[in-house]
Amino acid sequence: MEVKKDPAYTIDDDNLSSAEGQFDVTSAAYRRLPESLRGLGEDEIARLNKKIVRKIDLLVLPTIGILYILNYIDRQNLASAKLQGITDDLNMTTEQFATAVSILFVGYLPFQIPSNLLITKISRPGMYICAAVALWGCISAATAAVQSYGQLLAVRAILGAAEAVFFPGAIYYLSAWYTKVELGKRIAGLYIAQQVGNAFGGLFAAAILQLDGVHGIRGWRWLFIIEGSATVGIGVICACIMPEFPHNSRILSSEQRALAVWRIESEAGAAEGTEKESVLRGFAKALSDPKLILLILCNMLSQVQGSIANYFPTLVASLNFSHTISLLLTAPPYILAGAVYYVIMYYSDRKNTVYPLILMCIAISVAMYIISMTTLNVGARYFSMVILPFASVGPQLLLYKTINLHLARPISKRAAASALVNAIGGTSNIWASYLYYSSPHFYAAFGALMASALLLGVTITAYRWLVLRENRRLDSGDPDEIAKAIKGGVTEEMVQLNWRYEMY
């Protein structure tokens, strides 16, 4: 098998090639192949690896993607229900509706951390995730029965707690299967599913809301009944499809399982099911890593901008279109965002870079915020709304890739770090919900989002300086400097594998 040595493909001498399915046969990682694989030739191992990636792409990605579409449809249907009169029926003020939106995160955020720590110890993580999907579908459908503002708050808080399992669990689950040169495009796939949920959520809502008055039931109640019931059914079906971790997966042969585990071990020294670090110790290591604080702050600033999704139908409606047309016009921006996400992450994986892409998204989003605040021209404003979903949320994809590769080991640390970053960072969604007033300019919202974007640029630059300093320590060959790097979050196995902080 010919091994590529082009700099665009090779990360370092002791790791996998960054082209999917290729290996550097001279590397230390390659020479540490499991006994069961050492009798295979290089071509056979390469073919086996491609077969594994293809198999998990066909089973894991579509299943996770479908569930994420449901996650976002169920989460965003309250914004669609507002256009059909839920605020009038439940006698809610603008501030009370903002509370109903934000209270979901009160339940959502604190449960992410224990859930992600628990998933590292569950042998059937797919079943665990799908059970949560069916549960939140039931709760979402129950929203149709609420008769007062207080009841809506209670249901939304419980819905948030049920949904807490999914997103950080899905990110962790993907990182257990994919290598660092494969993970970016798969995270992009997850976010593309999010945008499909946002886009078609508006289209589905526009169709379902036409049932208004059928059997004496308001259209917004039909919205929760139909979408919640569909979520339960699909969650049960997906539970039969989702595979386990690589080391115990029943969809792989014994040889494929051995290679699937080694693919992950060869990058950082351990894989799911092969490490005995306790959950609490991994959690403590995550908290002691200085990089985590900066990543939490970065994600918080990024999620402030992501809050635009919670009010996107309202923003489009400020252009003075009808309710139905407003819902239909929410689709194109999300479809574009899905396509751009894939391009961004494909480029990130191929060039092994993140930092300049984050800065690019920040620059574009700042320009769009300025347009939204300074003009009433319908074409210009809708143009900014078409661009904002990918520009404002794009940095989140790159940050989650960073989290799972820079805070990779021990495994329980990665799970805790992923949940901490998403949970604490997500608190911005609570207060950001109160910014969307004073239509059509929404000065408070777009001003705060622009300030958050600029501060994100400063914070991610500080993070870049920190990881480059750690790389200099690892490159120094000085035992004292290397010890400092280990104290900063690198394991001894990672040092032996010549591991480095990449992409910055």
Looking at the DSSP bridge assignments, the partners of residue 17 are: 10
Whole-angstrom distance, CA of residue 420 vs CA of residue 267: 23
CATH number at residue 126: 1.20.1250.20
pLDDT of residue 276: 59
Whose CA is closest to 354, among 297, 406, 281?
406
* Amino acid letter for position 53: V
Residue 21 in any domain: the answer is: no
Residue 28 in any domain: the answer is: no
Give me the average pLDDT of each 10-residue run along the chain (504 residues).
38 43 50 70 83 86 86 77 84 86 81 82 84 91 91 91 86 81 79 73 76 85 90 90 80 83 69 57 74 88 81 77 75 84 87 93 94 88 88 87 75 73 78 78 88 94 92 87 80 77 86
Structure tokens at 280: 């609490």
Ramachandran class of 442: left when φ > 0, alpha when ψ lies in -120 to 50, beta otherwise: left
pLDDT of residue 270: 53
Pair 246, 271: CB distance under 8 Å? yes
SS3 of residue 250 by DSSP: coil
SS3 of residue 459 by DSSP: helix
Q: What is the span of the domain harbouring residue 328?
A: 42-496
Structure tokens at 358: 């984050």
Residue 63 in any domain: the answer is: yes
Residue 241 in any domain: the answer is: yes
Q: DSSP assignment, residue 124? A: -
Residue 501 in any domain: the answer is: no
Whose CA is closest to 126, among 175, 164, 166?
166
Residue 302 in any domain: the answer is: yes
Total structural domains within the chain: 1
For 57, the enclosing helix (H) or strand (E) is helix 42-82
Whole-angstrom distance, CA of residue 3 vs CA of residue 70: 42
Residue 121 in any domain: the answer is: yes
Whole-angstrom distance, CA of residue 71 vs CA of residue 165: 11
Residue 7 in any domain: the answer is: no
| pTM metric for this prediction | 0.69
Q: DSSP assignment, residue 145? A: G
Alpha helices in 352-377 (DSSP H): 355-374
Pair 99, 436: CB distance under 8 Å? no
What's the distance, CA 335 to chain centroid?
17
User: Where does residue 322 rank: exposed (0-12), middle (13-18), buried (19+ CB within 10 A)?
Assistant: exposed
